[in-house]
Structure 1
């Protein structure tokens, strides 16, 4: 990898904002980045080589930061959300049951043997997508609080479950590694909580802001990389390390300055690089040899949307169910980890991403329906 390649990757990253420019479409930034990587990577012109060690390592760093930011988006400190946890948990569990049935059926139908993986994907939600949609549309009321709680529970549960189901043969080792990473994240939370309550963080923040030290960002990155090192040594994906640390930081309360610095670091460089790398790694040409996997991707997306929409039986408006079905972090993690472990069939990674795009399209429809007031959920409560 050289500066010419890095320039190309950075320029390709601009495809994300370009495609998402029209706000009414509710398209995520990563869509353009993925497509750009596909065009210039393995599927397309072949100018990007995802197996390059430097490119691969930078993508791993970006993956860790992306999952860290996703964890900080989970509203664990919101008292109103905690009050809605009961109904949110019931709906998340109900979606999980439906997802288990649908995932096993798809695994049998398409003869992949990945029923548990499909179940986790179908049941997952993405707080990193859903929360910005809620904010951008100004949605509120009790049903939206319940939706937020449901998404937070599903997001966290899916991230924990994914390492266990993607490689069932090593599930025991993955469980031990996950416990180690979770325990380390708990210790980090206790340390950060003590630093916050003792006033040490505030004093450091004052000096850091005055003298431009960026101490909080440096500490956050040091903790992230330390948990990432523990995860890799424990044979667990860095996905779990990043998300667990994000939850710990969210539980303490992420300082606004750190949030802005992380946004610049993540969305300005590392996240686009990771998603361009992921697109470059996907080989859509495999769909030509296995065209039935296109149907698998569509089925995964439709199954996720249907499972969440059926929560109408538990009182959730269909547009909110469509929004809840939005997923990106878990499918991305499944593709990343699955290809690294070589447990996915040719064409299957692209099918998983196709399913995620179907849910994003459904969430965009749900957001537009909510904004137009086709339901009354924003006025309830």
Structure 2
């Protein structure tokens, strides 16, 4: 791969971002990057060859960094109120329970044999997308406090389980690899916690900043890539390695300087490469050859909303319930890893992405009503505080 080709990839990623972030469209930037990859890849003009090893490797770096950033965005349960935590966990459990029969029904109807995979996809939420979309609004209202543990648990459950359901024939081998990565992440958390509690981490960051060595970023990348190497060795997707490392760092408290550096490295270079590569690797023409996969994608998206509105029975506002159905990281991971393992049917990867894009499109529509719920609850809390002060 030449510098010219790399420049073209990043340029088309910028073009895709510009299209979907217009005020009238306002969709996540990844949709534009995926779209440009589809246009220039196997589905479209064939300018970008997703089978080139250099392109694949750069994309895999983007994938693992993307999952690391997603892991750092998962809120810590330790900071949440017990009632809100219990409510959020119960709602996530309800969604998971409903997802199982839906996954089985879809698998049998379409004859794919992927009931467990569909159940995991339906259960999943994208905490990173949801929190990013609501980042400018206060999240201290009861609906938000209860939604955060719900989507965090859905993320924390779906990503480790996904490699297991993709290769049920090698369940023990995959489970041992996943456990090894999780164990390393736990050790990383313990070490980081010790360094933070004893002041070593703060002194190290101060010294690194003074010497302009960017050592936090370098060491973080070493850890991420070592976990990625472990994932490759054990036959587990690198998504789990990145996500587990992100969870460990996020649980301790990611320094703002490191967060900015990692965000810049990921979103500025490697994540766009990954999404353009992934779009280029998709062959949407297979949907024409296998039209039932279009129906699969639509019904998967519908099933996600059906499962996620069940918590409405527990008092969750409908618009927020619909918002929790948004999924992107898990379907992308499922399609990417499934293709690499050769376990998906022709056109099934595109069907998974179609279901994800449906959830993104619908939740984009309900974003404004959700904002109204947040503002109403925030105003009510402010009013209560004023009344309490007066009394």
TM-score, normalised by the number of residues in structure 1: 0.96
Q: Please report how far the alpha carbon of residue 172 of structure 1 lies from its aligned counterpart in structure 2 after TM superposition.
A: 1.3
SS at 1:236 equivalent: coil
Q: Please report how far the alpha carbon of residue 58 of structure 1 lies from its aligned counterpart in structure 2 after TM superposition.
A: 0.8
Q: What do residues 189-223 of structure 1 show as CA deviations (whole Å, max 9, x unaligned)?
A: 11111221221211121121122110101111010
Q: Please report how far the alpha carbon of residue 124 of structure 1 lies from its aligned counterpart in structure 2 after TM superposition.
A: 0.2
Q: Does structure 1 retain, via aligned residues, the 8 Å contact 2:298–2:358?
A: yes
Q: Please report how far the alpha carbon of residue 166 of structure 1 lies from its aligned counterpart in structure 2 after TM superposition.
A: 1.1
Which ranges in structure 1 are unaligned for 5 or more consecutive residues?
none
Q: What do residues 139-188 of structure 1 show as CA deviations (whole Å, max 9, x unaligned)?
A: 54111111011000001100011011111111111111111000011111
Q: How does 1:256-271 map to 2 (within 5 A)?
A: 256-271=256-271
Q: Does structure 1 retain, via aligned residues, the 8 Å contact 2:138–2:374?
A: no
Q: Does structure 2 retain, via aligned residues, the 8 Å contact 1:60–1:274?
A: yes
In structure 2, the partner of 1:72 is: 72
Alpha-carbon distance in 1 for matches of 2:155, 2:261: 24
SS at 2:43 equivalent: coil
In structure 1, the partner of 2:112 is: 112
In structure 2, the partner of 1:47 is: 47
Alpha-carbon distance in 2 for matches of 1:140, 1:290: 46
Alpha-carbon distance in 2 for matches of 1:371, 1:231: 39
Alpha-carbon distance in 2 for matches of 1:55, 1:315: 47
Alpha-carbon distance in 1 for matches of 2:146, 2:77: 15
Q: How does 1:243-282 map to 2 (within 5 A)?
A: 243-282=243-282
Moved more, 18-27 or 209-218: 18-27
SS at 1:84 equivalent: helix
Alpha-carbon distance in 1 for matches of 2:24, 2:288: 34
Q: Does structure 1 retain, via aligned residues, the 8 Å contact 2:21–2:28?
A: no
Which ranges in structure 2 are unaligned for 5 or more consecutive residues?
382-391
In structure 2, the partner of 1:368 is: 368
Q: How does 1:1-381 map to 2 (within 5 A)?
A: 1-22=1-22, 25-76=25-76, 79-80=79-80, 84-373=84-373
Q: Please report how far the alpha carbon of residue 78 of structure 1 lies from its aligned counterpart in structure 2 after TM superposition.
A: 5.7
In structure 1, the partner of 2:385 is: none
CA-based RMSD of the aligned residues comes to 1.7
Change over 3 Å in CA distance of 1:120–1:371 after alignment to 2: same
Q: Does structure 1 retain, via aligned residues, the 8 Å contact 2:144–2:374?
A: no
In structure 1, the partner of 2:384 is: none
Alpha-carbon distance in 2 for matches of 1:77, 1:24: 36
SS at 1:136 equivalent: coil
Number of positions where the alignment pairs a residue of Structure 1 with one of Structure 2: 381
Q: Please report how far the alpha carbon of residue 310 of structure 1 lies from its aligned counterpart in structure 2 after TM superposition.
A: 2.1
Q: Please report how far the alpha carbon of residue 376 of structure 1 lies from its aligned counterpart in structure 2 after TM superposition.
A: 5.2
Change over 3 Å in CA distance of 1:71–1:114 after alignment to 2: same
Larger radius of gyration: 2
Alpha-carbon distance in 2 for matches of 1:91, 1:377: 20
Change over 3 Å in CA distance of 1:12–1:176 after alignment to 2: same
Q: Does structure 1 retain, via aligned residues, the 8 Å contact 2:125–2:327?
A: yes
Alpha-carbon distance in 1 for matches of 2:151, 2:318: 15
Q: Please report how far the alpha carbon of residue 373 of structure 1 lies from its aligned counterpart in structure 2 after TM superposition.
A: 4.7
Q: Please report how far the alpha carbon of residue 137 of structure 1 lies from its aligned counterpart in structure 2 after TM superposition.
A: 4.0
Q: What do residues 300-347 of structure 1 show as CA deviations (whole Å, max 9, x unaligned)?
A: 111101211121111111100111001111001001100000000110
Q: Does structure 2 retain, via aligned residues, the 8 Å contact 1:317–1:377?
A: no
